[in-house]
A and B are shown apart, each in its own frame.
Chain A
Amino acid sequence: MTDYAYAGEILRVDLSSGKTWGEKFEAADRRKWVGGAGLGAKILWEEVPPDVGWDHPENRLVLATGPLAGLPVWGTGGLTVVTRGAMTNGATNTQANGFFGANLKYCGYDAIVFQGESPDWVYLHIRDDGVELRDASELLGKDTWETQQSLEKTLNLSGHNLSVYSIGPAGENLVRFAAIQGDYGHVASKNGCGTVMGKKKVKAVAIERGTKGVAAAHPKALFAAADDIAHSLQTDPSTRGLYLYGTLGGVRNLQGMGALPIRNYTTNVWPEEVETQKWEANGLREGFDHRGHQCSACGMHHCHMQVISSGPYKGQVVDEPEYEGWSGAGWTIGATDPQQVTWMNTQLDRACVDVNEFGWLCGWVMECQQKGYITDQDLGFRLEWGDIDGANRLLEMICKREGMGDLLAEGTKLAAEKLGGEAQDCAIYTEVNNSPRGHDHRSRWEEMIDTCTGSGGTMDTAPPVFPTDYGLPARVHPQDAEEVPKHVGGLRGRRAYEDSLGACVFTTRAPMDVLCRSIQAATGWDVDKDEAMQTGRRINALMRAFNLRCGIGPEVEKPSRRYGSTPVDGPIAGVSIMDQWEKMLDIWYETAGYDRETGRPKPELLRELDLEDVAEALWGANV
């Protein structure tokens, strides 16, 4: 058995003892679990029992890549973080890109698995086989960009010869929605994965661009498949905008369908004073000195750096926000000046929190202030809609857990529950505590049901990619209570498979048979789209089983009052998702093959997915 597409080793790090060792990534496990989310789910299921909560030393923090990482398919520097996360206290599946996966594999590892808890703050330095936990005391208090700059100095490296994935002050102070940020602008943000890293007292992972090689089974075919994926991304109407502008086009598109989460869901109408042109994809780009800053092997025109061209932050270098940044640091909190929003977005990356959750939290505080549920005295100052400096002040309070920041650091759901009453009613969250993405999901029902039922700290299925590959309609009406859950349930698995490849979900948006050709060429497997889907469903089912074992079941699969409310204005004013909610769940469960009552994947499904042991664990030996 060759090691095509794999480094072949998993780096184990026991923070309690300071020991590190390599463990074989068994060939037999590779095809079944692939890497990334799959590998992480397997480790979580096998090594994290129910009594090991997110903050228990024996929790695992898996930083995994996958078979495509380090290869010339576009966007293949991928990091998938799997852990028992601080938001849901259940499974986490969250991604970042940059050069993590490429540089790690050139060092000879497919994944890093942290266990235990370090007595003192450390960072993990990886340089080929040289793996070392080093004192991080000099890095403490630094934001993620400062941390990377500091390590570049310490290690005398520049550019992509060093990848640094770190936590900022938010992670150090166990802000519950802390993220892990790397390579200037790439954030694995969901489910408090940075909080877990902070609890383990790991400030950063610094990976030098290793000297080892990654082989492909059929390299020429791999280049050809990569070219075909690139061609599809460049020309398919569903991805061309993404190729040119990343997700910048989202703002205007979503605004048109009433899905822009303006001012904490209080309105769906674009404020009159906003210049429309500024918020077109090309308009958002023209306003800045713009510089390419791609991930490993990627030809997409996003993930850029930009220099702020006007206003108080003029001259500062920031990473160009994706849609989520324009939303979380912008529309959600009522900010409409792109120069300010892009600055705030980078502040969030540097402090290292989830931009969505911050948006919901900050927008909620703003609304509560306006309505008097949170007084100036409670907060310590007045925070109006669109006040970027105020939002940044709030961020600092949260990161340092100062004053009310200590409560807000627990995230929207816990803070709102604590305040209760009318304040709680205007907070956007899910009962399971998956942070919704930065849309108004009251007009995107597929995302609301996906966010509420997701087992990895966020959506499991995510926006449909070439649904016709699996016999589903190319698009369905976003408020169709029958078709939406069939779509979400029916495409369940594809995303989990993508999340296991070490690639970016933007660059895997190609027809599945084309994507499979790249995996075949990389690994030598005869994998097809059905196997890919089957594998993804296995991963989803295992994460769900993990959550059920942790006591997280269908009772929390619902939106908060505001999140599930009925829009008062805009294109879908008066259309209520909650009227259809139970019906949608019925269909979703049926489609996914899960038991409506208990939430468990059905035994026959688990057997079909080659998860006999899980079937036994959930249903007993005799079912």
Chain B
Amino acid sequence: MARHVIVGGGTAGWNAITTLRELDQGDSEIILVADETPYSRMVLPYYLARDIAESHVYIASPPKLAALSVDARLGARAEKIDASAGKLILEGGDEVEYDNLLIATGSSAVKAPVPGADGENVHSFWTFPQARAVASGVGEGARVAMIGAGFIAFTILNALVSQGVKLTVVELESRILPRMIDDTGAGIVQDWLNDRGVEVRTSAQLASIEDKGDAKLLKFKEGPDLEVDLVIMATGIKPNIDWVAGSGLETNQGILVDEYCRTNVENIYAAGDIAEGPDAVTGEKVVHAIEPTAMQHGRVAAANMAGQEVAYKGSLLMNIVDVLDMEIASFGAWDDADAEVFEAVRAERPAYRKLLFHGGRLTGAIILGKTREIWTTNDVGMLKGLVYTGVDISEWKEHLRENPFDVKRAFLASGAAGGLLPETILGRPSISAHEIAVSS
């Protein structure tokens, strides 16, 4: 039996496990090396909002892993790879031989490099333990500073507001969500937040965090100090690649992988936030560090580890976040200076659409609208479909220039659905993880 060793039990690792078992029904050995019981990072904001219990955060309990015949080494940490020997070496010296190795050790939060960033009540919000720490520090009336106004920050904004905190968002750059939407979109979102009692400071460079009694005093290069009870650092993440140094793996931002999620080293695969793989629109290799890409990496890598030849065209860069009932999403190359851009704002809704074209193809899009707006979620998926398939919509281009909101009819007429329907990433219909079991 082949032995698959999977390092990391996040989205990529877990999807690799279920895909392997879907394909082989237990006809292989799977060893999971993970420092924690697998959990879903995506649901931590709902844990913070106290919508769900801790148990809901875990995706795979030890019994579930056992049921899938996974030899789970929980609490173990990988230290290095001996590729020539086909061995993974764990901290403490244990060695695990592999036929196939999947590296899915994800990424870590990076704090702003300012004095006091490592002090008490200054937390990142990335891992489950960090989420617990933040959760214990927020409550009605707590003053919270969110350093960074990116996607991660915004995923927990609703949770913080629903807890009744007094929130100030601090962003170094001149607009919020700088890597997710453009100036126009950011302006609309900022107004939306201000109207709902969230203070936003942009172009604000944090200088230091000091203690002031039990409180924290934030000092800036310019502008007034800010006194809060808790600081959340959402200032970026970086792939956890340090430990693979010396293994012979080619790295850039992350570990470089091809369309099979293979690294340059035989029998070693990488997936998820640590992997730098093909982008569906540009074809270039890039670290997306988003959940859907991690899921697809995990499935594609596993299919190839199981001996199937599954190439995929790459994942689509996309993000969606709901801030206080406003939906914000972007797809593909939304920040492309070379693209032809159609955009429209409807201030009274408010709503915003930005469509980016190369020739007859939609290559990127931004959509913003009230969550209650009938068409918002509808258009979100259709924009994804248009960007992902790259279907030619030349005939609708002039219409969309005039009315960038009329995505739905353009999508229906594009035939994108017809092109998509026969497509499956693994070459077979997907099934629910609940249906996956090993043969007895």
Interface residues of A (CB under 8 A from B): 127-128, 130, 132, 153, 155-158, 161, 209, 211
Contact = CB atoms under 8 A, between A and B. Distances in A.
B132 interface: no
A158 B409 contact: yes
A156 B409 contact: no
Contacts of A155: 346
Given A127-B348, A132-B348, A157-B405, 8 more contacts: A127-B349, A156-B346, A156-B403, A156-B405, A156-B406, A161-B374, A211-B372, A211-B373
B324 interface: no
A59 B373 CA distance: 36
B171 to A, nearest CB: 30
Nearest to B402: A153
A153 B404 CA distance: 11
Interface in B354-375: 372-375
Nearest to B370: A211
B313 to A, nearest CB: 32
20 contacts: A127-B348, A127-B349, A128-B372, A130-B348, A132-B348, A153-B402, A153-B403, A155-B346, A156-B344, A156-B346, A156-B403, A156-B405, A156-B406, A157-B405, A158-B409, A161-B374, A161-B375, A209-B374, A211-B373, A211-B374
A130 B351 CA distance: 14
Contacts of A153: 402-403
Contacts of A156: 344, 346, 403, 405-406
A209 B372 CA distance: 12
Nearest to B405: A156
Contacts of A132: 348
Interface of B: 344, 346, 348-349, 372-375, 402-403, 405-406, 409
Contacts of B409: 158
A128 B348 CA distance: 12
Contacts of A127: 348-349
A409 to B, nearest CB: 37
Contacts of A161: 374-375
A157 B348 CA distance: 14
A156 B409 CA distance: 12
Contact of A158 (B346, B373, B406): B406
Contacts of A157: 405
Contacts of A211: 372-374
Contacts of B374: 161, 209, 211
Nearest to B373: A211
Contacts of A128: 372
A155 B347 CA distance: 11
Nearest to A106: B374
Nearest to A161: B374
Nearest to B351: A156
A130 B348 CA distance: 9
Nearest to A210: B374
A161 B349 CA distance: 15
A209 B406 CA distance: 16
Contacts of B375: 161
A209 B378 CA distance: 15
A233 B346 CA distance: 44
A155 B372 CA distance: 17
Contacts of B348: 127, 130, 132
Closest 7 CB pairs of A and B: A156-B405, A156-B403, A211-B372, A211-B374, A158-B406, A156-B346, A158-B409
A132 B348 CA distance: 10
B405 to A, nearest CB: 4
B241 to A, nearest CB: 46
Contacts of B372: 128, 211
A130 B373 CA distance: 12
A246 to B, nearest CB: 28
Nearest to A159: B409
B327 to A, nearest CB: 14
Contacts of A130: 348
A128 B372 CA distance: 11
A157 B405 CA distance: 8
B232 to A, nearest CB: 33
Contacts of B406: 156, 158
A565 to B, nearest CB: 54
Contacts of A158: 406, 409
Nearest to A212: B372
Nearest to B372: A211
A157 B351 CA distance: 13
Contacts of B403: 153, 156
A99 to B, nearest CB: 14
B409 to A, nearest CB: 7
A211 B372 CA distance: 7
Nearest to B344: A156
A130 B409 CA distance: 26
A153 B406 CA distance: 10
A128 B373 CA distance: 10
Q: Which of B373, B374, B402, B409 has the most CB of A within 10 A?
A: B374
B369 to A, nearest CB: 11
Nearest to A125: B348
A132 B405 CA distance: 21
